[in-house]
Amino acid sequence: MSTIAEPITLPCGAVLPNRLAKGAMTEGLADCQGRATPELARLYGLWAEGGSGLLITGNVQIDGDHLERPGNVIIQGRPDDAALDGLRAMAAAGTRGGGHVWMQISHAGRQTQASVNPHPKAPSAVAVQLPGNQFGTPVALTEAEIVDLIERFGVAAEVARETGFTGVQIHAAHGYLLSQFLSPRSNLRTDDWGGSLENRARMLMQVVARVRQAVGPGFPVGVKLNSADFQKGGFAFEDSVIVAGWLQDAGVDLLEISGGSYEQPAMMDIQGIEPPEIPVQRTSTAAREAYFVGFAKTLRRSVSLPLMVTGGFRTRAGMNMAIETGGADVIGLGRPLCVDPAGPAKLLAGAERLDRWETKLRLLPPALQFLNGLKLIQSVEGFAITYWFYAQIDALARTGTARPGVSPFSALLQVTRSGAAWMKARRAAS
């Protein structure tokens, strides 16, 4: 039986040295022109030396007007020499442990913050349904713009290969642009890009084809796909199974299973959000720690391509069980590696578990903990804890050491102020 220490050969022939992957996590460390910085190289060097067989970068955006957050790396057209050098340094650092580093390529679509773009492009003019006016009213893409974006995904993949990344992952989950096309809640189009599932998946499938054309047959191409949106009338489990089959036929090498969007953030482990109900979820403690293993087992009945599952894994026993029982071929790790980048090496050496830091963090002081039952407090605390992990990534990148002593509230302020300063500098430079 395979375990986390076993290598895996992907359909294209590339070999991952073990089954542990650093899942994509937003970094916010590019300069104001969207170029990779020395801080990103330092960060990926730490993760590369930490034992993961695969590192997947945070969102690298194909359009500077559609960012997931301030500080995203941007590849919009052919980068200049300075941008290429930054990417080469990042890729070299990310492979120095002997593993792979893949560039995640993405477009935020309607989930672009209003401070970045008050009128982002999307499949249809359907706004994100969240309070606070964080996201502007989107404008429907024209067919010519859709075709241009498909080409941009291909260009980004070419740049990834040229600069030393060993693979790419196409982000079609979490409510970003390709996920928006897949969902009948956000895609109301009546042309060839909307309506039936085949039409809603058309952009994703053409992006996969263009990326494969760009990188060739021996270069890994992965896709991140929602198991479901967890919203009534959205992208459903049954849709995901069908699309996964199409992706297998298209030659995808690794399919990462996730779920949710900003409107229903199943992927973010935010306190106060009910965990998704997924078919065939086991009841053992080891299996329950992983959010999407149940769906992956269901999906395994229909596809044979390697599956990566990210979200909630903390114990070596749970990871090995997921692999041995067919729930995953690759285990994605996120939050623990924000504090301890050497976590994978420790697991491979026999450690039983990774720290679950989020259970130790609280926004309110002890005297006010009785307020934690309020949904508003739970929501604010959940986002503050997410920003705490952002702050740990920032500290690793800038100093080589995490700062677990910082409070979630301080982290929330730090990351918010940093993003505002980045946007100010970007506007001044444009």
* Token pair of 181 as six digits: 């096309």
Give DSSP secondary structure letters for 276-289.
Answer: PP-TT---SHHHHT
Quick one: which of 112, 101, 96 has its CA closest to 262? 112
Backbone angles phi, psi at 220, to 5 degrees: -65, 135
Q: What is the mean pLDDT of residues 298-306?
A: 93
Res 278: pLDDT:
39
Q: What is the mean pLDDT of residues 41-64?
A: 98
Query: Would you say the pTM of this structure is higher than 0.85?
Result: yes
- pLDDT for residue 376 is more than 70: no
Res 176: pLDDT:
93
- Chain mean pLDDT for the chain: 88
Residue 345's CB: how many other CB atoms inside 10 A?
Answer: 17
Judge: domain 8-354, CATH 3.50.50.60.
no
CA distance 186 to 188: 6
Res 372: pLDDT:
56
Res 1: pLDDT:
60
Res 283: pLDDT:
44
Res 277: pLDDT:
40
Given pLDDT bands bounded at 50, 70 and 90, which one contains residue 420? very high
Q: What is the mean pLDDT of residues 93-115?
A: 95
List the chain domain ranges.
8-354
Yes or no: say if 101 and 44 are a contact pair by the CB < 8 Å rule. Answer: yes
